């Protein structure tokens, strides 16, 4: 009897994790087990499309809880693991760095330990196909100047508690491959955007504030630059890396869409004016408000994803313009989703202003 393919996705109710779960379930060739602790950014509504699918199982558990993680491995016997569970918002990491160390560093350690325990008990044939993909961020590389791009040879130089915790988790993942032989792959991605993103992040916050005619806070002069990646393009890349990537390698995933923060906000304003039928072309733009910059705010990120494109054949399907339009349309069409999110603890307030530890 051929054992069905089982995929474990940690952080499966988060923004990128839920997009990955939806993508994998649509493929129809596996059982997808999504694990999530359902902290403030975890949202079962984001899994609504697959909630009743016989090919999906949700498990509420914390990646830092070794007993719970061990039980998941023992019960479901996954063939592959996508590890996305993480605290991810830079501003929150400034206010509460301990939560980031616990989830991102300790949680990754637990996942690697339990994956290794599971791997060592597999039959030889199953070992040959087992994979552990650790999903990370370009923020581990620090800040670029006006020129250049991040490559997988770029030295780590994290600036925030968030990026430092992710840098630590990256090093752990590579160490478990080199020391213990766990079949690990690592990806580092640029800034994601798209449906189901928690509204503390730049793009959804600007959409919702613009919709409600509230101020649109832009840090500093708005000149910080990010490379933007549509979330569905990112999860498609993750599936390609899992399926065809070389063990022990790091793959960088970027959208090739550099924009200043101010350019992003201005483009969102134009889209909202057009979608909402607001008179003129700069109605929403008047809401832009420049605020004090974030402490340790990296100036620019840009990713060289050439290896992923040439070696594995991945290319983003969305341009920044098409992806941003799809994102605005999704938030306008899914008011119930974000109203439920905003009915909780987060109300769109400024985070990351803590002056001292």
| In the predicted structure, residue 357 carries a pLDDT above the cut 50 | no
In a domain, 347, yes or no: no
Alpha-carbon dihedral angle through residues 61, 187, 320, 339, given to the nearest 10 degrees:
10
The set of residues, in sequence order, having a beta carbon less than 8 Å from that of 286 and lying 6+ positions away, is none
- Could you tell me how many residues make up the chain? 357
In a domain, 208, yes or no: yes
C-alpha pair distances (Å), 251 with each of 134, 150, 286: 11, 11, 40
Pick the catalytic residue from 62, 80, 87, 139.
Answer: 139
In a domain, 288, yes or no: no
Pick the catalytic residue from 119, 162, 251, 331.
Answer: 162
At 280 the pLDDT is: 66
> Which range is least confidently modeled, 66-80, 88-102, 133-147?
88-102
Count of other CB atoms within 10 angstroms of residue 259: 19
- Tokens 């569905």 correspond to 232
- Asked about 162 being catalytic, the answer comes back as yes
C-alpha torsion sign, points 235, 241, 247, 249: negative
At 90 the pLDDT is: 81
At 75 the pLDDT is: 97
Mean pLDDT for the stretch of residues 155-183:
97
In a domain, 355, yes or no: no
Q: Which residue has the higher pLDDT, 295 or 227?
A: 227
d(C-alpha 244, C-alpha 256), whole Å:
22
pLDDT tens per residue, range 221-277: 999 999 999 999 999 999 999 999 999 999 999 999 999 999 999 999 999 999 999
pLDDT tens per residue, range 162-173: 999 999 999 999
In a domain, 243, yes or no: yes
Q: pLDDT band at residue 347, thresholds of 50, 70 and 90?
A: very low
| In the predicted structure, residue 151 carries a pLDDT above the cut 60 | yes
Find the CATH number of the domain harbouring 202.
3.40.50.720
Mean pLDDT for the stretch of residues 38-47:
90
pTM for the whole thing? 0.93
| In the predicted structure, residue 350 carries a pLDDT above the cut 50 | no
Instruction: Give, in degrees to the nearest 5, the angle at Cα 273 between 268 and 279.
Output: 155
In a domain, 269, yes or no: no
| In the predicted structure, residue 304 carries a pLDDT above the cut 70 | yes
At 346 the pLDDT is: 46
In a domain, 335, yes or no: yes
At 1 the pLDDT is: 40
In a domain, 268, yes or no: no
Of the candidates 110, 4, 130, 5, the one whose C-alpha atom is nearest the C-alpha of residue 62 is 110
Alpha-carbon dihedral angle through residues 223, 227, 231, 234, given to the nearest 10 degrees:
-160
- Show the domain range for 207: 6-259+294-342
Pick the catalytic residue from 91, 114, 138, 266.
Answer: 138
d(C-alpha 310, C-alpha 281), whole Å:
41
At 341 the pLDDT is: 86
**DSSP type of residue 101:** I
* Antiparallel, parallel or unpaired: β 225-230 and 258-260: antiparallel
Q: pLDDT band at residue 351, thresholds of 50, 70 and 90?
A: low
Q: Which tokens in the block code for residue 117?
A: 């325990």
Q: What's the mean per-residue pLDDT of the chain? A: 93
d(C-alpha 255, C-alpha 229), whole Å:
4
Tell me if 41 sits within 8 A of 88, measured CB to CB.
Answer: yes
- The number of distinct structural domains making up the chain is 1
- Asked about 138 being catalytic, the answer comes back as yes
Mean pLDDT for the stretch of residues 267-295:
90
At 68 the pLDDT is: 98
């Amino acid at each position: 009897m051929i054992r069905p393919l089982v995929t474990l996705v940690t952080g499966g109710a988060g923004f990128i994790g839920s997009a990955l779960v939806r993508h994998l379930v649509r493929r129809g060739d596996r059982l997808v087990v999504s694990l999530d602790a359902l902290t403030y950014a975890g949202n079962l509504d984001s899994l609504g499309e697959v909630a009743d699918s016989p090919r999906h199982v949700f498990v509420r558990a914390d990646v830092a809880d070794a007993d719970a993680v061990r039980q998941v491995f023992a019960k479901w016997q996954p063939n592959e693991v996508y590890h996305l569970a993480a605290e991810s918002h830079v501003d929150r990491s400034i206010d509460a760095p301990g939560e980031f160390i616990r989830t991102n560093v300790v949680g990754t350690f637990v996942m690697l330990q339990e994956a290794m325990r599971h791997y060592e008990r597999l039959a030889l044939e199953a070992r040959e196909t087992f994979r552990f993909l650790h999903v990370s961020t370009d923020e581990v590389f620090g800040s670029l100047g006006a020129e250049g791009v991040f490559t997988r040879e770029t030295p780590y130089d994290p600036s925030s508690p968030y990026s430092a915790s992710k840098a630590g988790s990256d090093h752990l993942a590579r160490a478990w491959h080199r020391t213990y032989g766990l079949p690990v792959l690592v990806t580092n991605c640029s800034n994601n955007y798209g449906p189901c993103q928690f509204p503390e992040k730049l793009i959804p916050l600007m959409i919702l504030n613009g919709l409600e005619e509230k101020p649109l806070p832009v840090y500093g002069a708005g000149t910080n630059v990010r490379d933007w990646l549509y979330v569905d393009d990112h999860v498609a890349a993750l599936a390609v890396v899992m399926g065809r990537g070389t063990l022990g390698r790091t793959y960088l995933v970027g959208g090739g869409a550099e924009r200043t923060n101010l350019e992003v906000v201005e483009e969102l304003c134009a889209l909202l004016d057009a979608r909402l039928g607001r008179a003129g072309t700069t109605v929403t733009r008047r809401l832009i408000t420049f605020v004090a910059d974030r402490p340790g705010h990296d100036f620019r990120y840009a990713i060289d994803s050439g290896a992923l494109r040439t070696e594995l054949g991945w290319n983003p399907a969305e341009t920044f313009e098409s992806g941003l339009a799809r994102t605005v349309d999704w938030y306008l069409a899914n008011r119930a989703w974000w109203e439920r999110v905003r009915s909780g603890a987060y109300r769109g307030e400024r985070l990351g202003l803590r002056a001292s530890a």
